[in-house]
Structure 1
Protein backbone atom coordinates (compact mmCIF):
# COMPACT_ATOMS: atom_id res chain seq x y z
CA UNK A 1 0.00 0.00 0.00
CA UNK A 2 1.16 3.51 -0.78
CA UNK A 3 0.44 6.32 1.67
CA UNK A 4 0.96 10.04 1.44
CA UNK A 5 2.53 12.38 3.96
CA UNK A 6 2.91 16.10 4.39
CA UNK A 7 4.57 18.39 6.89
CA UNK A 8 2.86 21.55 8.10
CA UNK A 9 4.50 24.37 10.07
CA UNK A 10 2.83 24.98 13.43
CA UNK A 11 3.57 27.25 16.41
CA UNK A 12 5.21 24.28 18.16
CA UNK A 13 7.25 23.16 15.19
CA UNK A 14 6.74 21.02 12.12
CA UNK A 15 3.82 18.58 12.21
CA UNK A 16 3.83 15.59 9.89
CA UNK A 17 0.92 13.27 9.09
CA UNK A 18 0.94 9.99 7.18
CA UNK A 19 -2.39 9.16 5.52
CA UNK A 20 -3.58 5.96 3.85
CA UNK A 21 -5.33 5.76 0.47
CA UNK A 22 -8.75 6.08 2.17
CA UNK A 23 -7.76 9.35 3.85
CA UNK A 24 -7.27 7.94 7.35
CA UNK A 25 -4.40 9.23 9.48
CA UNK A 26 -2.02 6.36 10.20
CA UNK A 27 0.49 8.36 12.23
CA UNK A 28 1.10 11.99 13.07
CA UNK A 29 3.14 14.18 15.35
CA UNK A 30 5.37 17.20 15.80
CA UNK A 31 8.28 16.11 13.64
CA UNK A 32 9.62 17.01 10.23
CA UNK A 33 10.41 13.44 9.25
CA UNK A 34 8.33 10.40 8.38
CA UNK A 35 11.09 8.22 9.83
CA UNK A 36 9.90 9.25 13.32
CA UNK A 37 6.36 8.15 12.46
CA UNK A 38 6.72 4.96 10.40
CA UNK A 39 7.61 2.69 13.35
CA UNK A 40 4.46 3.85 15.18
CA UNK A 41 2.18 2.37 12.51
CA UNK A 42 0.98 -1.16 13.29
CA UNK A 43 2.56 -3.73 10.96
CA UNK A 44 -0.82 -4.66 9.48
CA UNK A 45 -1.38 -1.02 8.43
CA UNK A 46 2.19 -0.01 7.60
CA UNK A 47 2.48 1.24 4.01
CA UNK A 48 5.17 -0.19 1.74
CA UNK A 49 5.73 3.25 0.25
CA UNK A 50 5.13 6.78 1.50
CA UNK A 51 4.98 9.64 -0.98
CA UNK A 52 5.62 13.15 0.33
CA UNK A 53 3.20 15.80 -0.89
CA UNK A 54 2.87 19.48 -0.07
CA UNK A 55 -0.69 19.27 1.23
CA UNK A 56 -3.11 16.59 2.47
CA UNK A 57 -6.24 18.63 1.74
CA UNK A 58 -8.75 18.55 4.59
CA UNK A 59 -6.20 17.01 6.96
CA UNK A 60 -3.66 19.78 6.41
CA UNK A 61 -6.47 22.32 6.75
CA UNK A 62 -7.55 20.75 10.06
CA UNK A 63 -3.97 20.86 11.39
CA UNK A 64 -3.65 24.54 10.48
CA UNK A 65 -7.12 25.46 11.77
CA UNK A 66 -6.59 23.62 15.08
CA UNK A 67 -3.34 25.47 15.72
CA UNK A 68 -5.16 28.75 14.93
CA UNK A 69 -7.77 27.97 17.57
CA UNK A 70 -10.55 26.02 15.85
CA UNK A 71 -10.22 23.08 18.22
CA UNK A 72 -13.09 20.91 16.99
CA UNK A 73 -11.77 20.54 13.43
CA UNK A 74 -9.71 17.49 14.41
CA UNK A 75 -12.72 15.59 15.75
CA UNK A 76 -14.01 14.20 12.47
CA UNK A 77 -10.69 13.39 10.80
CA UNK A 78 -10.62 9.61 10.29
CA UNK A 79 -7.85 7.66 11.98
CA UNK A 80 -6.68 4.06 11.43
CA UNK A 81 -4.85 2.32 14.27
CA UNK A 82 -4.64 -1.36 15.12
CA UNK A 83 -4.00 -3.17 18.40
CA UNK A 84 -5.78 -5.26 20.99
CA UNK A 85 -9.39 -4.74 22.02
CA UNK A 86 -8.71 -2.48 25.02
CA UNK A 87 -6.31 -0.14 23.20
CA UNK A 88 -8.65 0.17 20.22
CA UNK A 89 -11.50 1.06 22.58
CA UNK A 90 -9.32 3.43 24.63
CA UNK A 91 -8.28 5.34 21.50
CA UNK A 92 -11.95 5.84 20.60
CA UNK A 93 -12.62 7.07 24.13
CA UNK A 94 -9.67 9.50 23.91
CA UNK A 95 -11.39 11.15 20.98
CA UNK A 96 -14.31 12.00 23.29
CA UNK A 97 -12.22 13.92 25.85
CA UNK A 98 -13.23 17.54 25.22
CA UNK A 99 -10.65 20.20 24.42
CA UNK A 100 -10.06 22.29 27.51
CA UNK A 101 -11.21 19.52 29.86
CA UNK A 102 -8.21 17.21 30.32
CA UNK A 103 -8.58 14.14 32.52
CA UNK A 104 -6.27 12.10 34.73
CA UNK A 105 -5.10 8.64 33.75
CA UNK A 106 -7.47 7.28 36.44
CA UNK A 107 -10.41 9.18 34.97
CA UNK A 108 -9.46 8.02 31.48
CA UNK A 109 -9.33 4.38 32.65
CA UNK A 110 -12.79 4.83 34.18
CA UNK A 111 -14.11 6.42 30.96
CA UNK A 112 -12.76 3.42 29.05
CA UNK A 113 -14.76 1.12 31.29
CA UNK A 114 -11.83 -0.30 33.22
CA UNK A 115 -11.27 1.80 36.34
CA UNK A 116 -8.46 -0.47 37.58
CA UNK A 117 -6.59 -0.35 34.25
CA UNK A 118 -4.68 2.86 34.92
CA UNK A 119 -1.50 1.43 33.39
CA UNK A 120 -3.52 0.29 30.39
CA UNK A 121 -4.86 3.81 29.98
CA UNK A 122 -1.32 5.18 30.15
CA UNK A 123 -0.24 2.57 27.59
CA UNK A 124 -3.02 3.71 25.23
CA UNK A 125 -1.61 7.22 25.40
CA UNK A 126 1.98 6.05 24.94
CA UNK A 127 1.14 3.80 21.98
CA UNK A 128 -1.10 6.30 20.21
CA UNK A 129 0.30 6.83 16.71
CA UNK A 130 -2.12 9.58 15.68
CA UNK A 131 -1.19 12.46 17.98
CA UNK A 132 -3.51 15.47 17.84
CA UNK A 133 -6.33 13.53 16.13
CA UNK A 134 -6.42 11.07 19.04
CA UNK A 135 -5.70 13.72 21.69
CA UNK A 136 -3.57 11.85 24.22
CA UNK A 137 -2.17 15.23 25.31
CA UNK A 138 -5.46 15.71 27.22
CA UNK A 139 -4.49 13.10 29.84
CA UNK A 140 -2.25 13.84 32.83
CA UNK A 141 -1.27 12.38 36.19
CA UNK A 142 -3.19 12.73 39.43
CA UNK A 143 -1.99 15.87 41.19
CA UNK A 144 -1.54 17.76 37.92
CA UNK A 145 1.84 16.43 36.72
CA UNK A 146 1.86 16.24 32.95
CA UNK A 147 3.15 12.68 32.65
CA UNK A 148 4.83 11.79 29.40
CA UNK A 149 4.29 12.89 25.83
CA UNK A 150 6.13 11.44 22.83
CA UNK A 151 6.51 14.91 21.30
CA UNK A 152 7.87 16.54 24.45
CA UNK A 153 6.40 18.18 27.51
CA UNK A 154 6.79 21.71 26.06
CA UNK A 155 4.47 20.65 23.20
CA UNK A 156 1.97 19.10 25.65
CA UNK A 157 2.06 22.24 27.79
CA UNK A 158 1.45 24.41 24.70
CA UNK A 159 -1.47 22.23 23.56
CA UNK A 160 -3.18 22.31 26.95
CA UNK A 161 -2.69 26.08 27.27
CA UNK A 162 -3.89 26.58 23.67
CA UNK A 163 -7.09 24.68 24.41
CA UNK A 164 -7.62 26.42 27.76
CA UNK A 165 -7.11 29.85 26.14
CA UNK A 166 -10.04 29.28 23.82
CA UNK A 167 -12.41 30.07 26.68
CA UNK A 168 -12.57 26.55 28.00
CA UNK A 169 -11.70 25.71 31.56
CA UNK A 170 -8.73 23.50 32.29
CA UNK A 171 -7.05 22.49 35.53
CA UNK A 172 -3.65 23.86 36.28
CA UNK A 173 -1.09 21.28 35.23
CA UNK A 174 2.62 21.31 35.60
Structure 2
Protein backbone atom coordinates (compact mmCIF):
# COMPACT_ATOMS: atom_id res chain seq x y z
CA UNK A 1 0.00 0.00 0.00
CA UNK A 2 1.44 3.38 -0.95
CA UNK A 3 2.30 5.62 1.90
CA UNK A 4 2.38 9.37 2.23
CA UNK A 5 5.75 11.09 2.35
CA UNK A 6 7.24 11.45 5.81
CA UNK A 7 7.68 14.93 7.22
CA UNK A 8 11.11 13.92 8.54
CA UNK A 9 13.51 11.05 7.99
CA UNK A 10 16.29 10.05 10.35
CA UNK A 11 19.52 8.39 9.29
CA UNK A 12 21.32 5.90 11.52
CA UNK A 13 24.20 3.55 10.85
CA UNK A 14 24.53 -0.03 12.04
CA UNK A 15 27.34 -2.55 11.72
CA UNK A 16 26.95 -5.77 9.76
CA UNK A 17 29.38 -8.51 8.70
CA UNK A 18 29.14 -7.30 5.09
CA UNK A 19 29.46 -3.57 5.59
CA UNK A 20 27.93 -0.72 7.51
CA UNK A 21 24.18 -0.36 7.00
CA UNK A 22 22.36 2.92 6.51
CA UNK A 23 18.93 2.93 8.16
CA UNK A 24 16.38 5.60 7.28
CA UNK A 25 13.38 5.73 9.63
CA UNK A 26 10.48 8.10 10.08
CA UNK A 27 9.25 9.79 13.27
CA UNK A 28 6.73 6.96 13.83
CA UNK A 29 9.53 4.37 13.92
CA UNK A 30 8.81 2.87 10.52
CA UNK A 31 11.84 1.82 8.50
CA UNK A 32 11.78 3.59 5.12
CA UNK A 33 15.11 2.51 3.60
CA UNK A 34 18.11 0.27 4.24
CA UNK A 35 21.25 0.20 2.16
CA UNK A 36 24.98 -0.28 2.49
CA UNK A 37 27.26 2.65 3.25
CA UNK A 38 28.99 2.40 -0.12
CA UNK A 39 25.61 2.65 -1.89
CA UNK A 40 24.38 5.78 -0.11
CA UNK A 41 23.78 7.65 -3.41
CA UNK A 42 21.49 4.81 -4.52
CA UNK A 43 19.52 4.99 -1.26
CA UNK A 44 19.17 8.77 -1.56
CA UNK A 45 18.01 8.43 -5.18
CA UNK A 46 15.37 5.84 -4.23
CA UNK A 47 14.15 7.96 -1.31
CA UNK A 48 13.87 10.92 -3.70
CA UNK A 49 11.86 8.87 -6.17
CA UNK A 50 9.46 7.71 -3.47
CA UNK A 51 9.10 10.90 -1.43
CA UNK A 52 10.55 13.82 -3.31
CA UNK A 53 12.94 16.15 -1.52
CA UNK A 54 13.20 14.88 2.05
CA UNK A 55 16.28 15.73 4.07
CA UNK A 56 17.84 13.03 6.22
CA UNK A 57 18.55 14.16 9.76
CA UNK A 58 20.91 12.32 12.09
CA UNK A 59 18.92 10.17 14.49
CA UNK A 60 18.77 6.71 15.98
CA UNK A 61 16.77 3.97 14.31
CA UNK A 62 14.24 2.32 16.60
CA UNK A 63 15.88 -0.07 19.03
CA UNK A 64 13.68 -2.93 17.81
CA UNK A 65 14.98 -2.42 14.25
CA UNK A 66 18.61 -2.46 15.35
CA UNK A 67 18.02 -5.52 17.58
CA UNK A 68 16.27 -7.41 14.76
CA UNK A 69 19.05 -6.68 12.28
CA UNK A 70 21.71 -7.78 14.77
CA UNK A 71 19.74 -10.96 15.52
CA UNK A 72 19.45 -11.72 11.80
CA UNK A 73 23.20 -11.43 11.32
CA UNK A 74 23.73 -13.60 14.42
CA UNK A 75 21.64 -16.36 12.84
CA UNK A 76 17.98 -15.68 13.70
CA UNK A 77 16.77 -15.67 10.10
CA UNK A 78 13.19 -14.81 11.09
CA UNK A 79 14.15 -11.67 13.03
CA UNK A 80 13.66 -9.35 10.06
CA UNK A 81 9.93 -10.06 9.93
CA UNK A 82 9.54 -8.10 13.19
CA UNK A 83 10.76 -4.84 11.62
CA UNK A 84 7.93 -2.43 10.82
CA UNK A 85 8.47 -0.83 7.42
CA UNK A 86 6.66 1.19 4.82
CA UNK A 87 7.72 2.81 1.61
CA UNK A 88 6.46 4.65 -1.42
CA UNK A 89 6.34 3.10 -4.85
CA UNK A 90 3.79 2.14 -7.44
CA UNK A 91 1.06 -0.42 -6.79
CA UNK A 92 3.04 -2.90 -8.89
CA UNK A 93 6.26 -2.29 -6.93
CA UNK A 94 4.35 -2.66 -3.68
CA UNK A 95 2.97 -6.02 -4.87
CA UNK A 96 6.47 -7.22 -5.77
CA UNK A 97 7.90 -6.09 -2.44
CA UNK A 98 5.09 -7.73 -0.45
CA UNK A 99 5.65 -10.97 -2.39
CA UNK A 100 9.39 -10.77 -1.71
CA UNK A 101 8.57 -10.72 1.98
CA UNK A 102 6.92 -14.12 1.53
CA UNK A 103 10.07 -15.76 0.13
CA UNK A 104 11.39 -17.68 3.12
CA UNK A 105 14.97 -17.37 4.33
CA UNK A 106 17.06 -20.24 3.01
CA UNK A 107 15.16 -20.36 -0.27
CA UNK A 108 15.47 -18.63 -3.60
CA UNK A 109 12.93 -17.87 -6.27
CA UNK A 110 13.32 -16.88 -9.90
CA UNK A 111 12.04 -13.57 -11.23
CA UNK A 112 9.56 -15.53 -13.39
CA UNK A 113 8.25 -17.45 -10.37
CA UNK A 114 7.72 -14.20 -8.47
CA UNK A 115 5.91 -12.70 -11.47
CA UNK A 116 3.63 -15.74 -11.45
CA UNK A 117 3.05 -15.38 -7.69
CA UNK A 118 1.76 -11.84 -8.12
CA UNK A 119 -0.50 -12.87 -11.00
CA UNK A 120 1.57 -11.18 -13.72
CA UNK A 121 3.42 -14.05 -15.43
CA UNK A 122 4.48 -11.92 -18.42
CA UNK A 123 5.96 -9.19 -16.21
CA UNK A 124 9.32 -10.82 -15.54
CA UNK A 125 11.35 -7.76 -16.57
CA UNK A 126 9.06 -5.45 -14.61
CA UNK A 127 9.54 -7.67 -11.55
CA UNK A 128 13.29 -7.31 -12.05
CA UNK A 129 12.97 -3.53 -12.27
CA UNK A 130 10.81 -3.39 -9.14
CA UNK A 131 13.29 -5.66 -7.37
CA UNK A 132 16.09 -3.28 -8.33
CA UNK A 133 14.11 -0.31 -6.98
CA UNK A 134 13.57 -1.92 -3.57
CA UNK A 135 14.67 0.65 -0.97
CA UNK A 136 14.64 -1.85 1.90
CA UNK A 137 17.62 -4.07 1.17
CA UNK A 138 17.85 -7.22 3.31
CA UNK A 139 14.57 -6.43 5.16
CA UNK A 140 12.55 -6.86 1.95
CA UNK A 141 14.70 -9.78 0.78
CA UNK A 142 15.38 -8.95 -2.87
CA UNK A 143 18.60 -10.97 -2.53
CA UNK A 144 16.48 -14.15 -2.64
CA UNK A 145 15.66 -13.70 -6.33
CA UNK A 146 17.90 -15.52 -8.80
CA UNK A 147 18.10 -15.92 -12.57
CA UNK A 148 16.07 -18.47 -14.52
CA UNK A 149 18.91 -21.01 -14.31
CA UNK A 150 19.42 -20.41 -10.59
CA UNK A 151 22.49 -18.23 -11.12
CA UNK A 152 23.09 -15.14 -9.03
CA UNK A 153 22.12 -11.98 -10.84
CA UNK A 154 22.49 -8.33 -9.92
CA UNK A 155 21.97 -7.01 -6.42
CA UNK A 156 21.92 -3.38 -5.32
CA UNK A 157 24.57 -4.09 -2.69
CA UNK A 158 26.77 -6.12 -5.06
CA UNK A 159 26.68 -9.78 -6.07
CA UNK A 160 29.30 -10.67 -3.44
CA UNK A 161 26.96 -9.47 -0.69
CA UNK A 162 24.07 -11.32 -2.29
CA UNK A 163 26.11 -14.53 -2.24
CA UNK A 164 27.03 -13.91 1.41
CA UNK A 165 23.40 -13.30 2.42
CA UNK A 166 22.19 -16.44 0.65
CA UNK A 167 24.97 -18.53 2.20
CA UNK A 168 24.16 -17.02 5.62
CA UNK A 169 20.55 -18.13 5.14
CA UNK A 170 21.57 -21.61 3.97
CA UNK A 171 20.39 -21.20 0.37
CA UNK A 172 22.42 -22.98 -2.28
CA UNK A 173 21.89 -21.21 -5.61
CA UNK A 174 24.01 -22.05 -8.62
CA UNK A 175 26.35 -19.45 -9.96
TM-score normalised by the chain length of structure 2: 0.88
Corresponding residue number in structure 2 for 1:167: none
Q: Note the alpha carbon deviations across 1:34-77, whole angstroms, 9 max, x for none.
A: 54422111545356332223553111111111111111111131
Residue 116 of structure 1: how far off its partner (Å): 1.2
Check the 8 A contact 1:3/1:21 in 2, yes or no.
yes
Distance 1:23 1:47, change over 3 A: farther
Check the 8 A contact 1:4/1:18 in 2, yes or no.
yes
Q: Note the alpha carbon deviations across 1:84-119, whole angstroms, 9 max, x for none.
A: 221111111110100001101111111111111101
From the two aligned structures, give the one with the greater helix fraction: 2
Match of 1:154 among 144, 149, 160: 160
- 2:78 aligned with 1:72: yes
Q: 2:135, 2:147 → 1: CA distance?
A: 20
Structure 1 residues without counterparts, runs of 5 or longer = 165-169
Distance 1:30 1:145, change over 3 A: same
Distance 1:143 1:35, change over 3 A: closer
Q: 1:123, 1:62 → 2: CA distance?
A: 28
TM-score normalised by the chain length of structure 1: 0.88
Corresponding residue number in structure 1 for 2:88: 82
Within 5 Å, which residues of 2 pair with 1:14-53?
Answer: 14-31=20-37, 34-43=40-49, 45-46=51-52, 48-53=54-59
Using the TM superposition, name which of 70-79 and 121-130 deviates more: 70-79
Query: In angstroms, what is the RMSD of aligned CA positions?
Result: 1.8
